Structure 1
Amino acid sequence: MSALRHERIDLPVLPLDTSALSSHARHLRTWRNAMFALFAAGGFALAAWVSRTPAVRDSLDASTAAMGWLIFAMAGGAVIGLLSAGPAITRLGAGPVIRTGLITAAAGLSVIAVGTMLGTAPIAFAGLVLFGLGFGSGEVAMNVAGAANERALGRTVMPTFHAMYSLGTLAGAALGVLAAHLGLPVGLHLILAALIVPIVAIPTVRLLPIGIGRVGQGQPKLTTAERLAVWADPRTLLIGLMVLGMGFAEGAAEDWLPLATVDGYGVSETIGAALFGIFVVTMTVGRLTGAALIDRFGRVATLRTSASVAAVGLLVTIFGPSAVTAAVGIALWGLGTSLGLPVGMSAAADDPRTAASRVSAAATVGYAAFLIGPPALAFLGEHIGLLHAFVAVLAMVVVAGIVAPAARPLTVSSTRVRS
């Protein structure tokens, strides 16, 4: 019996297309950098309004309760934007919704400016509805596009996107401090901000891939029942509750912190705006470092630790003996609140097919804090002072820490079930 011969077979070596890989990586970086700029533009627009709330109050001669209803107008517009964003993204893609949202928000700032110049609260109210509408729809679309980029990159990046939002907020707050210090009329300041936002947004959106979040031809479209089913999904609703708690903590600072410190600690408007700046700085630091913490310790542990830090910061801010100790508390408050919204939006978008609907649902539940919070805090503030009204915020942060396990990443099998 002859021995078996083992012949060597030489297969052709296919060349690795490094140029294609390089082009793909470059495309993802361009997409990521565009998202950095868009998140920053959104934060800048919001801070233009927030940093000048004391000046707006004085221009309109509004009480604390009246300011609560003005902020309620912005939150109401935002909820409409949030609810309409999911279907719009599914039909048009995230890019057009981001562009339209930021332009609408800029138009709202212009209308608010007119209201303050004329001293007419109804005009300012209408401007805040318009601002909230654009801000809410743009926020959902940016989070859908950011989550898609995060999946494509294969690593946690959503907190960094929200850090850029915080940097934009910091830039807007810095401009607000400067404007207040120089005595620049609030109307002129808001018009300037309204011009800057579309200058950044319009060309930047063109750098995004076409059709992010859009259901294309040949893909099974979500039925009405599937879109509505996300509202009955316990995980999505619990993520929304977590976002509500942490978003309430973030929104309370954005809406009321300058006024609360001016009234509660007797500091000047400039110092009040600067204390809000501290909140934004520490929030930015938390988001810049958050991606590494999440990759190392996981979403749940990071969120629970963050909620604990925020709770301590709120306690110090509310009950501290001076503005100096309040500044320390505000720093912890900002640091602890920093990861709630980005991690919540990333978790809601775990399933790519239903990402737009789930992000819209979770964000809408979360933004209930912005709808209910302003008048609730205003009501409490009228009776016990704005600083002590923040006790309600503290309670919601505790709830957010309790429901944090809902943000645990989906497995493949659970994704199939929920789809």
Structure 2
Amino acid sequence: MTTASATRTTRSAPSTTAWRNAVFVVFTLSGLAIATWLGRIPSVRDELDASTFEMGLLVVGMSVGSIAGLTFAGHIVGRLGAKRGVQIAAVCLALGLVMAGVAVTAGWGFAAIWVCLIAFGFGNGLCDVSMNVTGATAERLGGRTIMPLFHATFSLGTLAGAGPGALAERLAVPVALHFIVIGVLTCVSMGTAVRWFGDERFTDPEPTDTSPVQLPVSRWAVWKSPSTLLIGVIVLGMALAEGSANDWLPLAMIDGHGLDNAGGSAVLTVFLAAMTVGRVAGSPLIDRFGRVPVLRASAAVAVVGLGMLIFVPDVPLAIVGVVLWGLGASLGFPMGMSAAADDPRTAAAKVSAVATIGYVAFLAGPPIIGFAGEHFGLLHGLLIVFVFIIAAGLASGAARERTPEATRPGGAEPGLQTERDATDPTSASDATDAR
């Protein structure tokens, strides 16, 4: 696309405020859909009469789908834009959630639920990249840190899903009915919200002679960048801190602290509320202190909170630990996404790569923690998360804010090259990324 056509695209796009608000809606609905599934895990376990390890394998189904969604997301968003990415994701999310609910209530068995969760996970992974890429563009256009606020609305969505989930557990609402209502609501509402998305592929807030040239990045080039891998470590550790709570906290409170199903789901709601508070409060802290100090402090708080949950037998104090765990885990993932999307030339590919690394936590974490929990108890199985949170804190320097010069021609990271560079050696002299 030429500079003139890019400018026309920018001028005809929706306002930044409308774009930003539409992204808020999509983040909220994504959280709602995921928490709807998570809040009914105790009922699913009861219906299947599954062991802790078997529940870990079931969660892997969603993670497999998520990895597939992330793998294709960079190409879908790069070629079609985030709007189409969210639309495709909404259909997959709704279809997977509805069919999983029917499979649970109808007694179709473990394998059927597992397949449905693959579709649900695919939609989740694709939606994750799509909304983070377009959210990062809205953040750049707005000129201030708002990515944690986007993720705060995701947490609000999880609260909107977890609260009714706990109530549905207590009232024994059929899983199928619950999932059908939420699935249809999510699909229709997401499809409506994306009408206000702009086209992040060709949007540059201040076109100049030194503005980044929007060239496609070769498929695997971003994986050669050290910063991609280090930001991936941050996202991996903090995704495990967040994801392990989503997957295991209700069952850990039931098995380790003696709560009933409704109580376990209620504690998950407490965790998600702490995540929401941390993300709302985090934006001004990041603007004032920068990503790196905030990331390091977050990792420390998460470790303290997780330790209280595991080692303190008193339930009220354990719940205080859950609050600290949620606060500490709240900012890692959004800051990692912002760091990955700092350079608009590589945003779609790099966010996809970093998110893929992060989702290894969702793929490998459930069975590993489930296996450890089967032998040592779920609370002690969560000790695995400690190592990854510490690693995220140590790698936090990679999330440091980029200077404006780093996104100009000649300022790209080593190891990155465009598709044109990869196929045409003569273009090396005027490449914007290759070095």
Task: Determine if the alignment matches structure 1 residue 37 to structure 2 residue 25.
Answer: yes
Within 2, Cα distance between the matches of 1:223 and 1:405? 24
Cα root mean square deviation, aligned = 1.8
- Assess if the C-alpha contact under 8 Å between 1:81 and 1:133 holds in 2: yes
Shift of residue 228 of structure 1?
1.2
The change in CA–CA distance for 1:215 and 1:81 in structure 2 (over 3 A counts) is farther
Structure index of larger Rg: 1
Within 1, Cα distance between the matches of 2:186 and 2:96? 12
- Assess if the C-alpha contact under 8 Å between 1:284 and 1:338 holds in 2: yes
Structure 1 counterpart of 2:92, which letter? Answer: T
- Assess if the C-alpha contact under 8 Å between 1:89 and 1:214 holds in 2: no
1:303 to 291, 295, 303: 295
- Assess if the C-alpha contact under 8 Å between 2:95 and 2:119 holds in 1: yes
| Mapping 1:319-338, distance limit 5 Å | 319-338=311-330
- Assess if the C-alpha contact under 8 Å between 2:14 and 2:196 holds in 1: no
Task: Determine if the alignment matches structure 1 residue 208 to structure 2 residue 197.
Answer: yes
- Assess if the C-alpha contact under 8 Å between 2:306 and 2:321 holds in 1: yes
Within 1, Cα distance between the matches of 2:12 and 2:270? 39
Instruction: For residues 27-46 of structure 1, give each alpha carbon's deviation from its aligned partner in whole angstroms, at most 9, with x where no partner exists.
Output: 11111111111000000000
Structure 1 segments, 4+ long, off by >4 Å, are: 23-26
The change in CA–CA distance for 1:232 and 1:215 in structure 2 (over 3 A counts) is farther
Structure 1 counterpart of 2:112, which letter? Answer: I
Identity of aligned residues (%): 48
| Mapping 1:128-207, distance limit 5 Å | 128-207=117-196
Task: Determine if the alignment matches structure 1 residue 246 to structure 2 residue 224.
Answer: no
Shift of residue 196 of structure 1?
1.4
The change in CA–CA distance for 1:197 and 1:124 in structure 2 (over 3 A counts) is same
- Assess if the C-alpha contact under 8 Å between 1:31 and 1:207 holds in 2: yes
Within 1, Cα distance between the matches of 2:385 and 2:290? 25
Instruction: For residues 149-196 of structure 1, give each alpha carbon's deviation from its aligned partner in whole angstroms, at most 9, with x where no partner exists.
Output: 000000000000000000000000011011112111222211221121
Shift of residue 307 of structure 1?
0.5
- Assess if the C-alpha contact under 8 Å between 1:65 and 1:378 holds in 2: yes
Structure 2 counterpart of 1:308, which letter? Answer: A
- Assess if the C-alpha contact under 8 Å between 1:28 and 1:153 holds in 2: yes
- Assess if the C-alpha contact under 8 Å between 1:283 and 1:335 holds in 2: yes
Q: Secondary structure at the match of 1:213?
A: helix
Within 2, Cα distance between the matches of 1:298 and 1:247? 20
- Assess if the C-alpha contact under 8 Å between 1:115 and 1:122 holds in 2: no
Shift of residue 212 of structure 1?
2.1
- Assess if the C-alpha contact under 8 Å between 2:102 and 2:175 holds in 1: no
- Assess if the C-alpha contact under 8 Å between 2:93 and 2:187 holds in 1: no
The change in CA–CA distance for 1:373 and 1:360 in structure 2 (over 3 A counts) is same
Shift of residue 413 of structure 1?
3.9
Within 2, Cα distance between the matches of 1:370 and 1:308? 22
Within 2, Cα distance between the matches of 1:151 and 1:163? 18
Structure 1 counterpart of 2:83, which letter? Answer: G
- Assess if the C-alpha contact under 8 Å between 1:380 and 1:389 holds in 2: yes
Shift of residue 322 of structure 1?
2.1
Instruction: For residues 235-286 of structure 1, give each alpha carbon's deviation from its aligned partner in whole angstroms, at most 9, with x where no partner exists.
Output: 1110011000000010000111111111111101111011001100010000
Q: Which residue is equivalent to 1:72?
A: 60
Within 1, Cα distance between the matches of 2:45 and 2:16? 44
Structure 1 unaligned regions, length at least 5: 1-22
- Assess if the C-alpha contact under 8 Å between 1:52 and 1:180 holds in 2: yes
- Deviates further, 135-144 or 193-202: 193-202
